[in-house]
A and B are shown apart, each in its own frame.
Chain A
Amino acid sequence: MNYKVNFEVEKDDFEKAGEASRKIKKTLKQLGVDNKTIRHIAIAGYEGEMNLAIHSDGGEIILEVSSEKINLTIQDVGPGIPDLDLAMTEGYSTASDKVREMGFGAGMGLPNMEKNADFFEIHSKVGKGTKIQMSFNLK
């Protein structure tokens, strides 16, 4: 990987949430990545960032770019997901009413990440945290 940058995302920081995906988008445009790929990454990155803010105890997004592909890693320090299959189900969400009022919690985040990425892998351990690895092919 030739270019790497990471963004911290804090728990419950809704004011800043979205900033990392905004910066990622801008960076990819400047690099000259094609618009379609950027769109996929924007959607996946944004969902990942929101999940960190809403569901996790805080974490980070790591963007890595080489001439072949773009890796997006989203990892946090807890609380972890007890049932991954359930979490990956469209429409499944544990978001609170308060969060839903803010327009989040449709339960489409994880499924959309999987849909938009060329490679998607999720690992989670209750009490330890969650790690999502995604790749997007260039050309």
Chain B
Amino acid sequence: MENRKFFHSVYLDTDKCLGCTTCLRNCPTGAIRVRGGKAKIIQSKCIDCGECIRICPHHAKKARTDSLKCIKDYPYRVAIPAPTLIGQFGLKYSIDRILSALKSLGFDEVVEVAYGAEIVGRAIPAEYGRDNLLLPVISSACPAVSKLIQVRFPELTGNISTLKSPMGVTARLARKRIEKEKGLAQKDIGIFFITPCAAKATEVKDPDNWDDAYDVINGAISIKDIYGALRSVLRTVDEKNIQKASSMGFGWALSGGESRFVQNRQLIHVDGISNVIRILDEIENGNLEDIEFFEGLACIGGCVGGCLTVENSFVARMVIEERAKQVKSHGKDVMLEDVVIKKWLDEERLHRRHPLQPRVFKPLDDDFQKSLDKMQQIEILESRLPGLDCGSCGAPGCRALAEDIVTGHAREIDCVFVLKDRVLELSKLTSEMLQMGHPMESDGTDKEKE
């Protein structure tokens, strides 16, 4: 179905999948089919948003991330936690305590991604001065949303901010500094992102990524996987002074956090993948021309709602908001100086390697004329299907089944209703034939009973 390989961290644990079709109907890009009693992910359509991980009642959808053991391969180990991490534990544990607990799991250093988030946030205004500016500028923070745009809104890829992700910036700056300070070789420094989601794990692990996260980050460890270990040391760990990030930086974990860096411009921020789709539709329709910035995050509440987090996203939001207040009232909320941001911008250290390109899709057929014929067939087929979008056929809806049939990936009798009709026809025919075959023995008085 596709002409190139896509790297995905989301995968199916076949043994656990019961083929129940729950994920099928909740996939925002229609990337799942159930075939032969098991779910299948269409690689070219998957955006690693993690909706299926969240929704699968049998926990058969998972994300490929690294285990804590992987860090042993590197002499010098650095953890770069997503800002979301500090929302996972109650307010009785300070930010420094949480970061110290993380460090105690085997890291030499902890550098907050919230630090990189502030840098990226502060650089956003410069985006408005770039060549080929398209409005609204769409945040590049959530990789699931960037992929959604590549897949479903290809015309909008040019609107996506060209700035690096906070984790990319954090990792690159840390790497440079450590190399210099400790006199270490690149290969001896292992930087691990502590991830709230599958989408970011994919960003770290995909060598083809438009960011350079793959080059500077060595692995992604899920918050879920180390949550227990962190909990068990939180109380007893020796608390060190680690926190450097400002509240604006760690506020990035919340929907609207990034937008706070965009001043005096009309903007929209939404969370939840279906809400994001709605707004992107409007932008594509040319309906939101006055909007200058759009922050869309795939998860409810923002990254605090990531599919690899533990704490309820609403609780996590409250915790992070409270922490911001505390940091401010303790006079510890120090922001970076303007000159620093300007210097990094001037040195071109904050931009992606190349602009994001739309994902090229194979049309129904390479021959446009045949494409049209097939589309007409889809239309006819769809009109013959019941229109219930029940998912029993293994496709996310009747239209999708019609498309699958025409492209040779399914059969009309995969629809249980079509099948039932056919079976009924067949049984009528059979009974008729039986009567025909034995005219002498006919006692079929109740044969026509429905």
Interface residues of A (CB under 8 A from B): 2-5, 18, 21-22, 25, 27, 29-32, 35-36, 38-39, 42-43, 46, 65-67, 103, 112
Q: Interface size class for chain B? A: 20 to 34
The yes or no answer to B371 lying at the interface (CB within 8 A) is yes
Q: Are B373 and A2 in contact (CB under 8 A)?
A: yes
B430: interface (CB < 8 Å): no
Query: Which residue on chain A has the smallest CB distance to residue B284?
Result: A42
Given B285, B361, B363, B376, which contacts A46 in the complex, CB threshold below 8 Å?
B285
Which B227-279 residues sit within 8 Å CB-CB of chain A?
Answer: none
Chain A residues within 8 Å of B376, by CB: 2-4
Distance between B370 CB and nearest chain A CB, rounded to angstroms: 10
Chain B window 354-381, contacts with chain A (Cβ cutoff 8 Å), 1 for yes, 0 for no? 0000100101111011011101100100
Query: Are B285 and A65 within 8 A (Cβ)?
Result: no
In the assembled complex, the CB of A44 is this many whole angstroms from the nearest CB of chain B, namely: 9
B154 touches A43 (CB 8 A): no
Q: Which residue of A lies closest to B285 (CB)?
A: A46
Question: In the complex, what residues of B have CB within 8 A of residue A112's CB?
Answer: 286
Which of chain B's residues has its CB closest to A44's CB?
B286
Given contacts A35-B358, A36-B155, contact A42 B375 (CB under 8 A): no
Q: Which residues of A contact B372 (CB under 8 A)?
A: 2-3, 31, 65-67
> Given A22-B281, A39-B284, A46-B287, do A32 and B363 touch, yes or no (CB 8 Å)?
yes
CB distance from A3 to the nearest CB of B (A): 4
Contacts of B285 in A (CB 8 A): 18, 21, 42-43, 46
9 A-B pairs in the complex with CB atoms less than 8 angstroms apart: A2-B373, A2-B376, A22-B281, A31-B364, A31-B368, A32-B371, A43-B286, A67-B368, A103-B287
- A interface, over-half SS: helix
Other A-B contacts than A18-B285, A21-B285, 7 sampled, CB-CB below 8 A, are: A2-B369, A3-B376, A35-B155, A35-B358, A46-B286, A46-B287, A67-B372
Q: Among B285, B286, B372, find the residue whose CB has the most chain A CB atoms closer than 10 A.
A: B285
B368 touches A5 (CB 8 A): no
Q: Does B403 contact A (CB under 8 A)?
A: yes
Q: Which residues of A contact B368 (CB under 8 A)?
A: 31-32, 67
- Chain B residues closer than 8 Å to A4, beta-carbon distance: 376
Shortest CB-to-CB span from A49 to chain B, Å, is 9
Identify the closest chain A residue to B363 (Cβ).
A32
Q: Kindly report which residue of chain A lies nearest to residue B364, judged by CB atoms.
A: A30
In contact, B281 and A18 (Cβ under 8 angstroms) = yes
Q: What are the residues of chain A within 8 A of B369 when measuring CB–CB?
A: 2, 67
**Alpha-carbon gap, A110 to B8, bound state (A):** 44
Chain A residues, CB < 8 A from B286 = 42-43, 46, 112
